[in-house]
Amino acid sequence: MNEYDSNRISDLVQKIGYKKTESLESADCYILNTCHIREKATEKVYHDIGRLKKKYRNKKKPIVLITGCVAQAENDEMLKREKYIDAVVGPQSYHNIPEILKGIVKKKTKVNSTEFDVIEKFDKLNTLENSESKVSSYITIQEGCDKFCNFCVVPYTRGTEYSRSLKEIIYEAKSLVSNGTKEITLLGQNVNAYNFKHSKKSFRLSDLIRELDKIKNLKRIRYTTSHPNDMSPDLIECYKDIKKLMPFLHLPVQSGSNNILKKMNRKYTREYYLSIVNKIREVSKNIEFSSDFIIGYPGETEKDFLDTIDLIKKVNFINSYSFIYNRRPGTPAASLDSIKNDEQKKRLIIIQNLLQEIQINKNKNSVGKFKEVLVENKLKNQTKYFGRTQELTPVIFDANKEDVGKVIYVEIKKYNRNTLFGSKITSKKEAAA
Ligand code: SAM
Ligand code: SF4
């Protein structure tokens, strides 16, 4: 989502005469877009500013803006602690950046813009064409969260759930496709909670996917991140008949233990999660799942940990993110006693080894197979091309520049943990031979 936001910030400031530079030494304005999900982010901001100060020691100071969730959470604190910062701008206020920049240039005052103006933000962004011209692009369709998991800062930094207008999303999608986009990933903190109400009608994620399916030159549709409780039957049904909807789903479970799920306030059980996975597999036989795991949550026993291992083995996730529980001030879990850091680390290694083993095995099984790959770009300073399989696995392969933006077949010859390697084959017939 921050990548999407950064691109939109770039579109906004272009309107007042700024353009992106590759050279950090020659910027008039430096915008650091931040994430606050784990604690290191805040300190990283101060380190980055330290590096910036060194670079500009004998030069004119650039205007420095901190945007995103760290700005939202720390706001005035940042302006007080680091005088080099000119403004802090929360994720729901970044549509104000052009005005903020103009104000700083004119009045040289410090600015704190951390209101939750999500409706105003999208009203403003909707008037501005998304200039992205990548084969694979993002569109934010939903923001914020009403679920309040006990460990998470998102409801406090991104605010309550908000769904963008279906019409505006389709407009943005069509404009991206006319710029060359072939794959769209719909984004939201809880993307499948998407619920846009208009003239007494309610439009869900499934409605949006069905509308996107009608865009002729769009080849692939994805969405992330989904909450297990919002995997409604209408959404699952989409996997039956929408060929453009890719057979890959990031569905974070966080823990395989009912005891921990309850302590986290996730509001589902492991049995429910597994039943959803099975339902989706019934309609989409070869679908692959990935997940997020929080390891060493307060109160996690050896038995809870083993339940997570058991769930991983049952689902056989294609890849996953796993993190040691990170105490976030202001969240309900922050007051709980943490378990020993040594134990957390030990468990994280066991989980990561298991996830890695499954991922490597899946990649190994792809060798000799012909995978459908959307060609995204040529690799920098190399002759090879980059793309992804339907299941989102990165592939590096030999192809031609005319293939960029096309879905081709790649024969997989080698693999490592994260990536498959191969060569383009010219036709399905060759694949069948
Ligand atoms: N809404 C999504 C869901 O509930 O599945 C997740 C969105 S959250 C921005 C991304 C991931 O960050 C979570 O799935 C969780 O694993 C991780 N995360 C959030 N808070 C955390 C914390 N306090 N410590 C460790 N990991 C955390
Ligand atoms: Fe955070 Fe996701 Fe829970 Fe919302 S549902 S509070 S974003 S982990």
Where are the chain's structural domains?
Answer: 2-116, 120-364, 370-432
Instruction: Tell me the per-residue pLDDT of 260-287, one tens digit each, with 9 for 90 and over.
Output: 999 999 999 999 999 999 999 999 999 9
- 245 by Cβ neighbours in 10 Å (0-12 / 13-18 / 19+) ranks as buried
Residue 147, ligand 2, Cβ within 6 A: yes
Among the residue ranges 40-49, 185-194, 350-359, 401-410, the one predicted with the least confidence is 40-49
Query: pLDDT at residue 146 above 60?
Result: yes
Q: Do domains 2-116 and 120-364 have the same CATH topology?
A: no
Instruction: Tell me the per-residue pLDDT of 360-383, one tens digit each, with 9 for 90 and over.
Output: 999 999 999 999 999 999 998 789
Question: pLDDT band for position 431 (50/70/90)?
Answer: low
Task: Specify the pLDDT at position 177.
Answer: 96
Q: Could you tell me where the beta strands, DSSP code E, fall in 129-240?
A: 136-140, 142-143, 162-163, 183-187, 195-198, 201-204, 220-224
pTM of the model: 0.92
Cis bond before residue 225 (omega within 30° of 0): yes
Residue 350, ligand 1, Cβ within 6 A: no
Which CATH code, of 3.90.1170.50, 2.40.50.140, 2.60.120.10, 3.30.1480.10, is assigned to 370-432? 2.40.50.140
User: What is the C-alpha separation between 19 and 225, in angstroms, rounded?
Assistant: 31
Residue to mutate, 152, 226, 273, 293, ligand 2, most ligand atoms under 8 Å from C-beta:
152
Query: pLDDT at residue 135 above 70?
Result: yes
- At residue 28, the 3 state secondary structure works out as coil
Task: Specify the pLDDT at position 1.
Answer: 87
**Mean of the pLDDT values across residues 329-351?**
95
- CB atoms near residue 398 (< 10 Å): 13
Residue to mutate, 1, 38, 150, 154, ligand 2, most ligand atoms under 8 Å from C-beta:
154
Which CATH code, of 1.20.1440.60, 3.40.50.620, 3.80.30.20, 1.10.275.10, is assigned to 120-364? 3.80.30.20
Residue 321, ligand 2, Cβ within 6 A: no
Highest mean pLDDT among 9-13, 56-60, 101-105, 210-214: 210-214
Instruction: Tell me the per-residue pLDDT of 211-255, one tens digit each, with 9 for 90 and over.
Output: 999 999 999 999 999 999 999 999 999 999 999 999 999 999 999
Angle at the Cα of 264 (from 260 to 266), degrees rounded to 5? Answer: 100
Ligand 1 atom nearest to 266, measured from its CA: 4
User: What is the C-alpha separation between 352 and 337, in angstroms, rounded?
Assistant: 24
- At residue 252, the 3 state secondary structure works out as coil
The CATH number of domain 2-116 is 3.40.50.12160: yes
Residue to mutate, 2, 37, 227, 352, ligand 1, most ligand atoms under 8 Å from C-beta:
37
